[in-house]
Amino acid sequence: MMTSEHVSLVPLRGGIAALLVTAILIATGVAAFWRSHRHIDQQAKRLSAMDDLVWQAILIHDARAGAAEMAVLSGDREAIRRYRALAGESARVAQKLHEMGITPATASVLSTLDELTKIEDGAIAAAERQNRPPNEFLEQHADASTQHRLALEALPRETAKQRTRLREERVEMSRWLVCMMGLATATLVLSSLLIVRTSRKQLLSKRDAERRYAEASRQNRLILEATADGIVGIDADGEVVFFNPSAVRMARVDPTSGFSPSVHILNSLAPARETLMAALTAGDAIEPREFELLRGDGTTLPVEISAAPLRDEDGQVCGGVFTIRDATQRRELDAMKSQFVATVSHELRTPLTAIRGALTLLSGGHLGTLVEKGQRLLAIAINNTDRLSRLVNDILDLERIKSKSSMTLARCNAGELVLNTVETMRGLADGKDIRLLASPMDVDVHADGDRVVQVLTNLIGNAIKFAPGGSAINVGVRRREREAVFHVRDHGRGIPQEKLEMIFGRFQQVDASDAREKGGTGLGLAICRSIVEEHGGNIRVESVEGEGSTFTFTIPLFAAAGEVAGDRARAHPLTTMLTS
């Protein structure tokens, strides 16, 4: 695709090419005109020389005619010698005319000269033998001499015609040169105008681009200065190359310390250096995560930091951009929300327990026998009370997991966790004619075993709910680098692609009717994600509608902590700088 800059260069290049072609045409035309002009001049000089030779030949002819008559009539040796000299001179002039070019007229001159020479030579030879026929000679000589002179006199007329033709050629050539020069001049003018116009457009376009670039830079600067989030850029060598005022304000740079704001900001990012360096090394973006930002006055600030790598033209990571957001207000709101949820959930437990007990007494007939319709209504009330109790318990579990108050990390065998969970859930699966298949691996993880079992229980329970009778559910674990990968695979109805991420949110279900038909509170997968992320792992799902779903989650290996620390120290040049 051609850019505007390339498009603007097309007329300029066309104008320059037209100038070059015009210059070549002019040079070629002038050279051709000069060669033709020289040729015409040479032809004119040749014709002038022919005229001079013709008049010489006429004079020699007249002198030769008298010398021939005298030599024949008198037989004098001196007269014969005079004739011989004039005959040689006549032959020399004829040869020169021959060398200048044979034309019909010059050919006629040569033929009549040969005839005249034969007559004169024959008569002189007879005179030398004293056998002179003067009367016969005079008649033959007169006719031949007249023909020769007439042929000589015709030559100037022929040269005059050739001069006229040369003048016409010269005029025609001049006209052609004038036309060509006029066309070349017009082309030069048009090309110059095109070049000037294109250059002016380019100049205006360049100025407009510079103005727009300056305006965009000014707007970007204003945006960076006005945004409430701190924005920090770091190059591949670990140096802070740019930052906005919000970053300086969050870091609380001490102007009396003697250090530049870049050093303060770099030191402030120290608690997040491992995560940030991992992003730069892998070239992956990091979603917002909470950190404690060290400030210049010694205090800390809760922030959310997200990182994105910067790449050069070759796709290599050449730095990173960090966005720092003050999380103080959000933490306060989360604390208030958590306190509110915990208080409400706790306060609901007591009345729910009393209601459940009363409903159980009524259902057992301890307070009298109810009619069939009353029993059905009582069963519905008990089911809803149980569902509400599960919801309260799930909410409390979720809050406890987020607060890490119930997490006890220790060395656990992942294969045993899988086998124990499968045996626990086998009765529920058998009730729906579903086979549970376990594929454990003997691998140790650093985790809270009860919480991992809780994740597996939730995932297997969901699979049993949506798997058809007669199918199988595969549960297993395998080792991958520094983590154990658990999976639960079913052959149920599957999950739409647009809901694969949504189902891990609170109170989210694939179908709104699932809560009524299948039971559940919509918090199971949210609890699973919270447990997995608190362990430092991640959870995801792959699904094809109509074929089934596969949930996978990772838990760090027991021996991975020391190995990760050693690798991170060598991962990236930024790591060495930030950790020193």
* Distance of alpha carbon 254 from alpha carbon 265, whole angstroms: 11
How high is the pLDDT of residue 282? 67
Is the CB of residue 55 less than 8 Å from the CB of residue 63?
no
C-alpha distance from residue 517 to each of 309, 382, 481, 513, 514 (Å)? 46, 16, 41, 6, 5
Domain 228-326: which topology?
Beta-Lactamase (3.30.450)
How high is the pLDDT of residue 510? 62
Is the CB of residue 359 less than 8 Å from the CB of residue 382?
yes
Name the residue ranges covered by the structural domains of the chain.
4-200, 228-326, 328-406, 407-580
pLDDT average per 10 residues of sequence, the chain (580 residues): 47 66 74 75 78 83 82 79 85 81 76 82 77 70 82 79 79 77 76 75 80 82 77 76 78 64 68 65 70 75 79 77 80 74 68 76 72 78 75 67 66 92 88 89 89 90 87 92 91 81 71 52 79 87 87 86 41 32
Q: What pTM value is reported for the model?
A: 0.41
How high is the pLDDT of residue 444? 92
DSSP secondary structure code for residue 239 in this structure: -
To which residue do tokens 């001069």 refer?
163
Is the CB of residue 458 less than 8 Å from the CB of residue 525?
yes
Q: List the structure tokens of 388.
A: 């509400």
Q: List the structure tokens of 565.
A: 């620390």
The residue type at 214: A
How high is the pLDDT of residue 6? 46
How high is the pLDDT of residue 414? 92
| Residue 172 CB partners (closer than 8 Å, separation 6+) | none
Which class in CATH covers the domain with range 4-200? mainly alpha
How high is the pLDDT of residue 345? 64
The residue type at 296: G
Q: List the structure tokens of 44.
A: 């004119």
CATH architecture of 407-580: 2-Layer Sandwich (3.30)
Looking at the DSSP bridge assignments, the partners of residue 324 are 230, 305
Task: Determine phi and psi for 563, rounding to 5 degrees.
Answer: -65, -40
Picking from 149, 170, 179, the residue whose alpha carbon sits closest to that of residue 40 is 170
The residue type at 75: G
* Distance of alpha carbon 272 from alpha carbon 301, whole angstroms: 12
Q: List the structure tokens of 458.
A: 């939730």
DSSP secondary structure code for residue 370 in this structure: P
Looking at the DSSP bridge assignments, the partners of residue 489 are 474, 550
List pLDDT tens digits, range 435-469: 999 988 889 999 988 889 989 988 998 888 888 88
Secondary structure of residue 537 in the 3-state scheme: coil
How high is the pLDDT of residue 475? 93
Which class in CATH covers the domain with range 328-406? mainly alpha
Q: 390-410 as b/e, with b when 16 or more CB fall inside 10 Å?
A: ebbebbbbbbebeeeeeeebe
Radius of gyration from C-alpha coordinates of the chain: 58
To which residue do tokens 């996978």 refer?
552
Q: 93-118 as b/e, with b when 16 or more CB fall inside 10 Å?
A: bbeebeeeeeeebbebbbebbebbbe
**Rounded to 5°, angle at Cα 510 from 506 and 515:** 75
How high is the pLDDT of residue 402? 62
C-alpha distance from residue 46 to each of 21, 26, 110, 307 (Å)? 37, 30, 18, 94
- Which residue blocks in 75-133 are alpha helix, DSSP H? 77-99, 104-128
